C-alpha cells in the first residue's frame, strides 16, 4: 500500500497541532500532562482506525505487556472484586434503565395530557382574548355585528382547524417529498456505510455534454479503510 | 479567534475525526473546557491546510480516477460528486515504484474552492 505519505503527514500534523496548542493550553491554565494525554489518545485512536501504519505502532511491547498481565491476575481475590464491581455496575445500569423505563411512560403520559390540555386550552384562550379586545370597541355600537364578528372569528378558528385538517391531508401528498427525503437519507447512509470519501480542494470543474472533468488538489481520501493523501488529482466521469 | 481563511473541511478526515473524539473525551472527563477544544480544532484547520500545500513537500502523490458520475451538486461554493464504479489510481511520487489501483463501487467527493484556501 502506498499510503506512507498519509501516515507521515498525520504524524507531522499531530506534532504541529500539539506544539501549536501548548500556548493555548497554558492560557487556559491546563497542565502539560493533559496536552500529552490529548496526543496519546489521538495516536491511540488513529492506530485503532487502521487507516495507515504509524511510527508509534512499531512498539508492540505495550500490547505484549498488557496481554501478559491477565496471567499475573490469576490471583482469585482480584477477579471476584472486579466481577462484583462489574455486576454491580451492570445492575446499576439495569436499575437506571428500569427507572428510565418507568419514567418514559410517565413523561409521555404527562406530555399527552399536557398536549391535550394545551390544545384544549390554547384555542379558547385565543378566541377569548380576541373577543375581549373586540368587546371594548364594538360591543356598544352594534351587538349583532359583534356577534357576527364573533361568529366570523369562530369561523376563522374553524377555518384554521380546517387548515390543520388540510395540512394533515396534504401530509399524504407531502409523503412523496418525505419519500424523497428518506431516499436521500438512505443514500447518505449508504455513503457512510461504504465510507469511500474524498475531501479536497478544486481548481477547475468542467463539463462537456455529459462528460465531467475535474482538477482537484490537496486532498485526503479514505478508500477501503485506508487513508490516501494527494497533491493533485484529475478525474473523468460520465453522467 | 477562529481562522476565517481556513476550511473546516479536513475535520472530516480520519486525523480530524480522531482529534475531535480525543478532545470530546477530555471534555467529558472535565479535563478541558469546550472553548479550548474549539481553539485546538481551528489550530488543526490551519495546520493541515498548510501541510497539504506543495511547498511543504509532505504531500506529493498524484491521483486519477475514472467512473460513472451519479450525482453532482454545487452549493455554497462546494462541489459534491458521487461517482460509481470508480477506478482510482494513486501514484506515490516519493516512491516512484509504488502505485496503487483500486476499484470502488461508490466514491463521494467533497471539494472546496482552492482560491479561498488561506490565500489573501
Number of domains in chain A: 3
In a domain, A152, yes or no: yes
pLDDT at A125: 39
Query: Are the Cβ atoms of B15 and A10 closer than 8 angstroms?
Result: yes
Nearest to A199 among B9, B19, B67 (CB): B9
The structural domains of chain B, ordered by start, are: 9-56 (1.10.287.190), 62-112 (2.30.18.10)
* A15 grid coordinates: 506534532
Position B97 scores a pLDDT of: 57
Task: Assess whether A34 and A129 both reside in one domain.
Answer: no
Other beta carbons within 10 angstroms of residue B112's beta carbon come to 20
Q: Do A21 and B40 touch (CB under 8 A)?
A: yes
Angle between helix axes A32-49 and A4-27 (nearest 10 degrees) is 160
Q: What is the predicted pLDDT for the residue at A60? A: 55
> Which of B57, B55, B52, B48 has its CA nearest to residue B94?
B57
**Residues of B whose CB is below 8 A from A20:** 43, 47
CATH code at position A63: 1.10.287.100
Task: Tell me which residue of A197, A198, A12, A228 sits closest to B92, measured CA to CA.
Answer: A228
Q: According to the model, what pLDDT value does residue B45 have?
A: 96
Domain containing residue A230? 195-238
ipTM: 0.90
Q: How far apart are CA A176 and CA A164, in angstroms?
A: 19
Q: What is the CATH number of the domain that holds A201?
A: 2.30.18.10
**Which pLDDT does position B5 carry in this prediction?**
80
Q: Do B111 and A5 touch (CB under 8 A)?
A: no
User: What is the average pLDDT score of chain B?
Assistant: 89
Kindly state whether residues A181 and A230 are assigned to the same domain: no
Domain membership of residue A116 (yes or no) is yes
Residue among A173, A195, A113, A171 nearest B17 (CA): A195
The pLDDT value given to residue B50:
94
A109-118, A223-232, B34-43, B94-103: range with lowest mean pLDDT: A109-118
B62-90, pLDDT tens digit by residue? 999 999 999 999 999 999 999 999 999 98
- CA of A21: which chain B residue's CA is closest? B40
From the list A13, A196, A217, the residue facing B108 with the nearest CB is A196
Report the distance separating Cα B11 and Cα B45, nearest Å: 7
Nearest-CB residue to A4 (from B13, B72, B95): B95
- Consecutive 10-residue runs of chain A (239 residues): their mean pLDDT? 80 96 94 95 93 79 45 44 42 43 40 43 42 44 61 50 47 50 45 75 94 95 91 94
Amino acid at each position: 500500500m502506498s499510503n506512507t505519505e498519509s501516515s507521515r503527514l498525520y504524524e507531522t500534523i499531530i506534532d504541529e497541532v500539539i506544539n501549536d496548542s501548548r500556548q493555548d493550553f497554558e492560557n487556559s491554565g491546563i497542565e502539560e500532562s493533559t496536552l500529552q494525554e490529548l496526543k496519546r489518545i489521538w495516536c491511540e485512536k488513529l492506530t485503532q482506525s487502521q487507516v495507515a501504519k504509524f511510527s508509534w505502532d512499531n512498539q508492540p511491547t505495550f500490547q505484549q505487556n498488557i496481554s501478559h498481565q491477565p496471567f499475573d491476575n490469576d490471583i482469585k481475590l482480584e477477579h471476584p472484586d472486579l466481577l462484583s464491581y462489574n455486576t454491580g455496575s451492570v445492575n446499576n445500569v439495569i436499575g437506571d434503565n428500569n427507572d428510565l423505563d418507568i419514567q418514559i411512560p410517565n413523561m409521555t403520559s404527562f406530555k399527552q395530557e399536557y398536549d391535550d390540555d394545551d390544545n384544549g386550552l390554547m384555542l379558547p384562550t385565543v378566541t377569548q382574548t380576541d373577543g375581549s379586545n373586540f368587546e371594548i370597541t364594538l360591543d356598544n355600537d352594534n351587538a349583532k355585528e359583534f356577534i357576527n364578528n364573533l361568529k366570523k372569528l369562530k369561523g376563522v378558528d374553524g377555518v384554521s382547524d380546517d387548515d390543520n385538517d388540510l395540512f394533515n391531508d396534504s401530509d399524504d401528498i407531502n409523503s412523496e417529498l418525505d419519500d424523497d427525503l428518506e431516499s436521500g437519507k438512505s443514500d447518505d447512509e449508504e455513503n457512510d456505510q461504504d465510507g469511500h470519501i474524498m475531501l479536497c480542494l478544486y481548481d477547475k470543474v468542467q463539463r462537456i455534454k455529459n462528460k465531467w472533468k475535474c482538477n482537484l488538489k490537496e486532498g485526503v481520501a479514505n478508500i477501503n479503510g485506508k487513508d490516501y493523501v494527494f497533491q493533485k488529482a484529475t478525474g473523468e466521469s460520465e453522467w | 479567534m477562529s481562522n476565517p481563511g481556513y476550511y473546516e473541511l479536513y475535520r472530516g478526515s480520519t486525523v480530524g475525526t480522531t482529534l475531535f473524539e480525543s478532545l470530546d473525551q477530555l471534555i467529558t472527563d472535565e479535563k478541558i473546557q469546550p472553548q479550548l477544544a474549539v481553539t485546538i480544532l481551528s489550530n488543526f484547520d490551519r495546520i493541515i491546510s498548510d501541510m497539504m500545500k506543495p511547498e511543504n513537500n509532505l504531500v506529493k502523490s498524484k491521483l486519477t480516477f475514472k467512473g460513472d458520475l451519479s450525482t453532482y451538486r454545487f452549493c455554497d461554493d462546494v462541489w459534491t460528486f458521487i461517482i460509481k464504479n470508480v477506478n482510482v489510481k494513486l501514484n506515490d511520487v516519493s516512491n516512484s515504484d509504488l502505485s496503487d489501483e483500486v476499484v470502488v463501487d461508490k466514491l463521494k467527493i467533497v471539494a472546496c474552492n482552492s482560491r479561498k484556501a488561506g490565500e489573501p
